[in-house]
Chains A and B, each alone.
Chain A
Amino acid sequence: MKISVPRNSFSTLAPFLAVVVVVLMFQIYAPDQPMTFQTWQFVAAQTVVVGLAAVGMTWVIISAGIDLSVGSVIALSGVSAALAVEAGWGAVGGVLAGVATGAICGAYNGILIVGLRLPPFIATLGTMGFYRGVAKWVAANESVRPEDADGLSFTAGIADWIQPVAEGQWLAPAAWLLLATTILGAWALRWTVLGRHTVAIGSNELTARLCGVRIGQSKVSIYALAGLLAGLAGVMLFGRLTVGDPTSAVGIELDVIAAVVIGGASLAGGQGSVTGALAGALLMSVLRNRCTAVGWPNFVQEIIVGHIIILAVAIDQWRIRRTNR
């Protein structure tokens, strides 16, 4: 059985290199609009939601799966967190509610995929609508907005965790959380049993089965983990919006998948990098910010991001062919 985790430092570094190249190119194009430290603070906060979900999505994609329901899970978890805060459970209660909701949704995805033997694409396509519907239902079709005694928006302090700029703060706490989660996710992929099994399943499911990997159990765990991280992303989204909005995060699954793919993952499975996915998410935030800074309209940015996804995969394919020759 061939296990192919990123084989050299290039795979891990390339997406970060791309971020640096993009920043430098914009620096040359518009020297009067530099990336200041404060710009990075904002970009970091903007990367959190997609970044957290991308860590879990990397695991799923490495196992040769996909999770299309991630946007709906983020929205539903955000609503859960908002409802918990509204019920007076505080910040801890809000986080637990959001994360638990995400983990349950993820586990259900896994159970459908394993139990009914559905292709992950179909199973999560179905639950994408399911979870979105539940989010609208529990939120009674409108945003959940917890209030304090003065009628102001109240998030039990969760909003402060993802505030881009604050006194005595280097990066938003949520950005540190994203960094820690990424490092932990990358470490666990390399050094834990579940991590090794994830790569093994994605490389060759049949071989993995013959080698004694419990496929079903592992898959449910992988999807539950991805759901848990999407739940955490949902809590952060609640903090960012100060409301639990059941119609938010629509289409965000494509941003998350794009981040993972830019980060060097193969949709065929067996290959991918958690740190790369972080760089992929960061690259998209940086591009959005830079295109605004130099005054380009939205469509230019969409054209550029589209090509970066294509280019990232093309370069990776070319590199793999060359090393395999």
Chain B
Amino acid sequence: MPIPSLYRWFSGLFLTLLVGGCTSEVGSATPRIAVIPKGTSHEFWKSIHAGAEKARQEIGGFEVVWRGPERENDKSQQVDLVQNFVASGISAIVIAPADDRALASPIAAAHRGGIPVVVIDSGVQGIPGSDYASYIATDNVEGGRIAARRMQELTGGKGRVLVLRYQEGSGSTTQREQGFIEVLSAVDGIEVVDPGRYAGSTRESARDAAENLLEADSDYAGIYCSNESATFGMLLALRAREMAGKVFLVGFDASDGLIEGMRAGHIHGLVVQDPVAMGELGVKTALAVLRGEKVETLVDTGAKLVTGENIDEPQIRDLLSPPLKKYLGE
């Protein structure tokens, strides 16, 4: 390609981008709201996607662009995504930051540059209202406390309780562990055993870690795990030792495998979040900011305890298996 035509091609591209950017600001085109999860394959993120689609179907008149990093929790790719969306003239961004520091400056830069950012699921450093529009998430410390109260009730406030942590540096799960330990440490009859062992990011690493912990010591009244994969790994390890059902297992999040475990009497409590609400509120809040309305800077979407008794209540059933098909059309 000769140089003049290359130059023309680039200037054309530049003009297109410029015009594209202008139209979205003027508001003549439909607003596009980008939703950036931490990953795309877990059901949790699909639920957030469903929530975002729900908001779009209810309100209409805007577009939802769903794009996450290929690898779960890939911080640098998330930074790239934010910057690319800003460059492409997106109207607003809803993001679940994979890192509370790494994403802080791109988010603040976008928000201050006139593209409202709504943070969901996990926190990010900065001041809500000036560095980003709003923070919408589960209060994870409170979720941990809910799990602890369930454990206290199950064990009758007596015995040793093991904590299998999820992963180093993961903000939300560390808060769940913190809330759990905080409540149970104050109970006289309960000894919280926290060996500082982490389940790791996958289910097989969780099963290995759980087997090794139980092999070292298995004299527990109860066990707590702070996310889905850790709870599932622990469930498999307990079954392998034929201890399932004999020890109280309280976990976090839900999946088909965990629900089956609860129905079999092997899991005695699951604290679940409401990701559909998170996605829905995230998009609705972004839209409100675009319309110049005032929004709450902090929203707790709440955590609920699921037990063998309430598992079939309609409200809980919707939390456990969100109507993904209805909104995502899969």
Using a CB–CB cutoff of 8 Å, the interface residues on chain A facing chain B are 33, 38-39, 42, 46, 49, 129, 133, 136, 140-143, 145, 151-153, 163-165, 237, 240-243, 245-250, 285, 288-289, 292-295, 297-299
Nearest chain-B residue to A39 (Cβ)?
A: B215
Contact A42 B211, CB 8 Å, known A151-B263, A152-B264, A243-B257: yes
* B134 CB to nearest A CB, Å: 28
Contact check, B204 vs A247: say whether CB atoms are below 8 A apart.
no
* B197 CB to nearest A CB, Å: 6
* A26 CB to nearest B CB, Å: 11
Indicate whether B11 reaches chain A with its CB closer than 8 angstroms. Answer: no
Instruction: Give the residue among A46, A241, A295 with the most B Cβ atoms within 10 A.
Output: A241
Which of B38-46, B183-191, B294-302 touches A?
A: B38-46
Contact check, B260 vs A165: say whether CB atoms are below 8 A apart.
no
Nearest chain-A residue to B201 (Cβ)?
A: A250
* B321 CB to nearest A CB, Å: 12
Contact A250 B202, CB 8 Å, known A141-B46, A165-B241: yes
Number of interface residues of B (CB under 8 A): 37
Indicate whether B216 reaches chain A with its CB closer than 8 angstroms. Answer: yes
Contact check, B41 vs A246: say whether CB atoms are below 8 A apart.
yes
Contacts of B255 in A (CB 8 A): 143
* Distance, CA A145 to CA B256, complexed state (A): 8
Q: Mark B193-236, 1 if CB is under 8 A from A, else 0.
A: 00111100111100111011101100000000000000010001
* A162 CB to nearest B CB, Å: 9
The 14 listed contacts between A and B (C-beta, < 8 Å) are A38-B215, A39-B215, A46-B208, A151-B260, A153-B260, A165-B241, A241-B203, A241-B204, A250-B202, A288-B209, A292-B212, A293-B215, A293-B216, A298-B198
Contact check, B204 vs A242: say whether CB atoms are below 8 A apart.
no
Contacts of B293 in A (CB 8 A): none
| Apart from A165-B241, A248-B203, 6 more pairs, CB < 8 Å | A241-B203, A242-B257, A248-B204, A292-B212, A292-B215, A297-B195
Nearest chain-A residue to B203 (Cβ)?
A: A241
Contact check, A289 vs B240: say whether CB atoms are below 8 A apart.
no
Contacts of A298 in B (CB 8 A): 168, 196-198
* Distance, CA A240 to CA B206, complexed state (A): 11
Indicate whether B153 reaches chain A with its CB closer than 8 angstroms. Answer: no
Indicate whether B330 reaches chain A with its CB closer than 8 angstroms. Answer: yes
Contacts of B40 in A (CB 8 A): 141
Contact check, A288 vs B212: say whether CB atoms are below 8 A apart.
yes
* Distance, CA A33 to CA B46, complexed state (A): 44
Name B51-94 residues within 8 Å CB distance of A: 70-72
Contacts of A237 in B (CB 8 A): 204
Q: Which of A42, A143, A153, A240 is within 8 Å of B204, CB to CB?
A: A240
Contact A289 B212, CB 8 Å, known A140-B330, A152-B264: yes
* B260 CB to nearest A CB, Å: 6
Contacts of B212 in A (CB 8 A): 42, 288-289, 292-293
Q: Mark B246-268, 1 if CB is under 8 A from A, else 0.
A: 00000000011100100110000
Nearest chain-B residue to A297 (Cβ)?
A: B196
Contacts of B202 in A (CB 8 A): 245, 247-250
Contact A165 B240, CB 8 Å, known A46-B211, A247-B72, A250-B201: yes
Nearest chain-A residue to B216 (Cβ)?
A: A293
* A239 CB to nearest B CB, Å: 11
Contacts of B257 in A (CB 8 A): 143, 145, 153, 242-243
* B110 CB to nearest A CB, Å: 27
Contacts of A245 in B (CB 8 A): 202-203
Contacts of B203 in A (CB 8 A): 241, 243, 245, 248
Nearest chain-A residue to B233 (Cβ)?
A: A241
* Distance, CA A243 to CA B236, complexed state (A): 11
Contacts of B236 in A (CB 8 A): 240-242
Contacts of A292 in B (CB 8 A): 195, 197, 209, 212-213, 215-216
Contact A142 B43, CB 8 Å, known A153-B260, A297-B196: yes
Contact check, B195 vs A295: say whether CB atoms are below 8 A apart.
yes
Contacts of A288 in B (CB 8 A): 208-209, 212
Contacts of A297 in B (CB 8 A): 195-198
* Distance, CA A15 to CA B171, complexed state (A): 39
Contacts of B41 in A (CB 8 A): 136, 141-142, 246-247
* Distance, CA A132 to CA B203, complexed state (A): 16
Nearest chain-A residue to B206 (Cβ)?
A: A241
* Distance, CA A298 to CA B211, complexed state (A): 15
* Distance, CA A25 to CA B26, complexed state (A): 72
Nearest chain-B residue to A299 (Cβ)?
A: B168
Contact check, B216 vs A33: say whether CB atoms are below 8 A apart.
yes
Nearest chain-B residue to A293 (Cβ)?
A: B216
* A245 CB to nearest B CB, Å: 6
Contacts of B39 in A (CB 8 A): 247
Nearest chain-A residue to B212 (Cβ)?
A: A292
Contacts of B204 in A (CB 8 A): 49, 237, 240-241, 248-249
Contacts of A242 in B (CB 8 A): 236, 257
* A244 CB to nearest B CB, Å: 11
* Distance, CA A288 to CA B210, complexed state (A): 11
* Distance, CA A51 to CA B260, complexed state (A): 31
Instruction: Give the residue among B41, B71, B232, B257 with the most A Cβ atoms within 10 A.
Output: B41
Q: Which of B42, B72, B215 is within 8 Å of A289, CB to CB?
A: B215
